[in-house]
Amino acid sequence: MSNEVLVSLIALFGVLLSVTVSVFISLRTTNTEIQKLRTEIQQTYTGKLLDKRLELYPEMYYLLSDFRKKFDVADISKEDVKRLLKQTSEWNSKHSILFSGQTTLISVRFRKLLTRLVQDGFESNESLRELIRTLAELEVALKSDIGIYVIEFSDPAKRFSHYEDVEDAVQKKAIQK
């Protein structure tokens, strides 16, 4: 093989290697930019979803919290349950599209329970306990959707990670009185 052919082959190999590296770097840069764009879009979407949840969730939380407080001070009537079912169903019709999957499941279970209680009555304490338990689950799910995951108190030893922990603590305190 002559020197000219050898030099030509080396030059060709250098050009091919350079093109291959350039294509690889270009693809990698393009993929990185696409990933950045996807992340930015996702962050924008998540921010807007959270803003909308922060705007609308307090209304639903108010309905649940207000009902729970009535339960603490007086007997709940069938009309109270019927009213709560109507109010939560109306709110759901307008805004439940913002729910996470978990909140959707709990909300459906809650409204089915309200419907059953309106139709069948709720004379037993177990029915009322189930209503309050499911209501508390929905409250926690709403909080979780807007980023409030843990209930904290000034005493670090009193930290609740789930509504059932809070309910247990409240029941123990009521028994002690």
CA gap 111, 123 in Å, rounded: 18
The CATH T-level fold of domain 3-146 is: Four Helix Bundle (Hemerythrin (Met), subunit A) (1.20.120)
CA gap 55, 49 in Å, rounded: 10
For residues 136 and 167, is the Cβ–Cβ distance under 8 A?
yes
pTM above 0.75, yes or no: no
Six token digits for residue 30: 């393009």
The domain limits of the chain are: 3-146
Distances (CA, A) of 11 to 4, 7, 14, 21, 22: 10, 6, 5, 15, 16
pLDDT tens digit at each of 177 positions of the chain: 688 888 888 888 888 889 999 999 999 999 999 999 988 888 888 889 999 999 999 999 999 999 988 877 777 888 889 999 999 999 999 999 999 999 999 999 999 999 999 888 776 778 888 888 999 999 989 998 988 865 555 566 665 555 556 556 655 554 554
CA gap 87, 120 in Å, rounded: 19
